[in-house]
Chain A
C-alpha cells in the first residue's frame, strides 16, 4: 500500500507546490516510485513545476468520467520514477467536488500502486480539503514565518481535528454538543475542538476513547519555508510544541527551508531547482527533508466513517 502525504496549510504562495514538487523529485531519486497529485484544482500548476508543460490528461478526465480509472490519468514526467496526475484544465475548485465524487476519488487514491503519493492540496479549509487530509496520518503543513501564514496553519489543523469529530456524530447530537461546549466554556467554544473533546469525554466516554486513540495516531509534520536570515529559527519547534501541548495532537517539526531568490529563477527557467542550484542552502535543506520523509511511514487510514 502506498504512503500518502497530504500537503497543505499556510496561505497562498507559501511554497506548497514548490515543496511538493521538490519532495516528489527527491523521493523519486531515492528510488521510490512516486506520484504527485495536483488537487489545487482552481490554481493547478504542479505540472509546470515538474516539467510537464502540457499534460495530455488529468484528474478532470476522471471526474468527468472520460477516463474510468484514476490510474489511467497518470502521466510520466521527465524525471525517472516520478509521475503526475495533473489538475490542469480544471475550472472547478476541489471545494465543489460533490460528495460521491470525493469518496470515489479518496478510495481510488488509496488503491493506486505507488510507493509514495504526495497530494498538493492548495490553501484553504474547505471540507473536501479536510477530508483529503484525513486519509493519512502523515499530513504535512507548510508555512512561512509570517503571522498570517502561521495563523492559517493553526486554523487548518483545528478544522481537520474538528472535521474528524464531526464524523462521529449525527447532526442533532453534534448540535447538542456544540451548545453544551458553549455553555461550559463560554461563547464561541463550539468551534474549539479541544473544548468539544472535553464535552465528549463526559457525555460519551466510549466515543471519546475511540477519537483519542485515533488522534494520538496522527503524525502531523511541519515545514517552515522561506526562512530568511533574521527569522526566528525555533519557530517550527515552538509551533509544534504549541499544537502538542494545547491541542494534544502530535506534530513533528521537520525543518526550515531557507529563502533563496534562485527558486524564482529556476521556476522561471522551468528547470528543477535542485538540479540547477544544488549547492544553495535551500537545496540542502530540501534534501534533508526529503531523506526524513522518504523514510517515515505512517498508516493510511480507512475511510469507513465518511
Chain B
C-alpha cells in the first residue's frame, strides 16, 4: 500500500524525480492535468466532482511551487528537513560536450492542442461552479484560476494560446497588486485571458476583475 495522494510530496504527486528540470515539471503537470481534468476517460468514473477538484487544486499547488525557483528551493529545504529527499550536492557547471549531429535533443514538438471554443462553451454552460462564480459581483484572481482548472486548462496552455508570459498569468491569478503586470498591459492581458477561457462579455468581466483587485490595494 502506498501513501495517500494528499500525503505525497509534490514530486511524488507529479511522478517526478527531485532533480527534475523545469521542462520535465511542465510536462508532468500537463500529463497530470490530462489525467484528472473533468471528462477524462481515465478518471471520470473514479472520483466524485469534489474529490477531483481537491486533487486538481493539489496538482496546481505542486506545479506552482516546483516551477518557481524560489518557492521550490524553500520547499526542497523543507523536504530535506523532513528527511524525504537528500540535500542537493553543489555540482560544478557541466562542461559542454560535443553533440552528435543526429541527436538533437529538443523538447517534443507536438504542441498540446488547445480545446476548441465550442467545447469550452459547452463545459462552461454545464458547470455549476463557473455559473456561481460569474453570478457574483466580484471576480478575483482566485476565481479566474478556479474557472480555468474547472475547464481543465493549464497555465501553459493559456500562455501558449495568448502569448502572455506564464509569470504574468500567475500574478493575475494571485491578484496581488505589487506583482501584477504594469497597468497599461494588465487590462489587455486580462481580456485575452478571459477570451481564451471561452467566456462571454469579456469587457464587463475584465472591468469586474480590475475593480476587485484595485479594492485589495
Chain A residues at the B interface, C-beta cutoff of 8 Å: 145, 147, 150-151, 154-155, 194, 197-198, 212, 215-216, 232, 235, 238-239, 241-242, 244-246, 248-249
Contacts and interface: CB of A to CB of B under 8 A. Distances in A.
Contacts of B82: none
Contacts of A245: 2, 5, 8
B1 A212 contact: yes
B72 to A, nearest CB: 22
A215 B2 CA distance: 10
A248 B2 contact: yes
Interface stretch (B35-43, B168-176, B178-186): B35-43
Interface in B1-31: 1-5, 8, 15
Contacts of B47: 246
A232 B46 contact: no
A246 B55 CA distance: 10
A162 B35 CA distance: 25
A150 B1 contact: no
Interface of B: 1-5, 8, 15, 35, 41-47
Given A155-B45, A246-B46, 13 more contacts: A147-B44, A154-B46, A194-B4, A197-B1, A198-B4, A232-B41, A235-B42, A238-B42, A242-B42, A242-B46, A245-B2, A248-B3, A248-B4
Given A154-B46, A238-B35, A244 B41 contact: no
A230 B15 CA distance: 26
B45 A150 contact: yes
A150 B42 contact: yes
Q: Say what secondary structure dominates the interface of chain B.
A: loop
Contacts of A197: 1
Given A154-B46, A248-B1, A242 B35 contact: yes
A150 B41 contact: yes
A241 B5 contact: no
A216 B44 contact: no
B2 A147 contact: no
A10 B41 CA distance: 14
Contacts of B2: 244-245, 248
10 contacts: A145-B41, A150-B41, A150-B42, A154-B46, A197-B1, A238-B35, A244-B2, A245-B2, A246-B5, A246-B47
A238 B15 CA distance: 12
Given A150-B42, A151-B45, A246-B46, A241 B35 contact: yes
Contacts of B3: 248
Contacts, number: 42
Contacts of A154: 45-46
A249 B44 CA distance: 19
Contacts of A212: 1
Contacts of A242: 35, 42-43, 46
A274 B193 CA distance: 54
A216 B3 CA distance: 12
Contacts of A216: 1
A197 to B, nearest CB: 8
B41 A235 contact: yes
Contacts of A145: 41
Contacts of B45: 147, 150-151, 154-155
Contacts of A232: 41
A101 B15 CA distance: 46
A11 to B, nearest CB: 12
A153 to B, nearest CB: 9
Nearest to A146: B41
A242 B43 CA distance: 7
A215 B1 CA distance: 7
Nearest to B15: A241
Nearest to A243: B46
Contacts of B43: 242
A145 B47 CA distance: 18
Nearest to A249: B1
A150 B1 CA distance: 22
Contact of A147 (B1, B5, B41): B41
Contacts of A147: 41, 44-45
> Which of A215, A244, A245 has the largest count of B CB atoms less than 10 A from its CB?
A245
Nearest to B48: A188
A282 to B, nearest CB: 21
A150 B35 CA distance: 14
A150 B41 CA distance: 8
A242 B2 CA distance: 12
A95 B167 CA distance: 58
Contacts of A150: 41-42, 45
A82 to B, nearest CB: 35
B182 to A, nearest CB: 42
> Which of B1, B2, B8, B15 has the largest count of A CB atoms less than 10 A from its CB?
B1
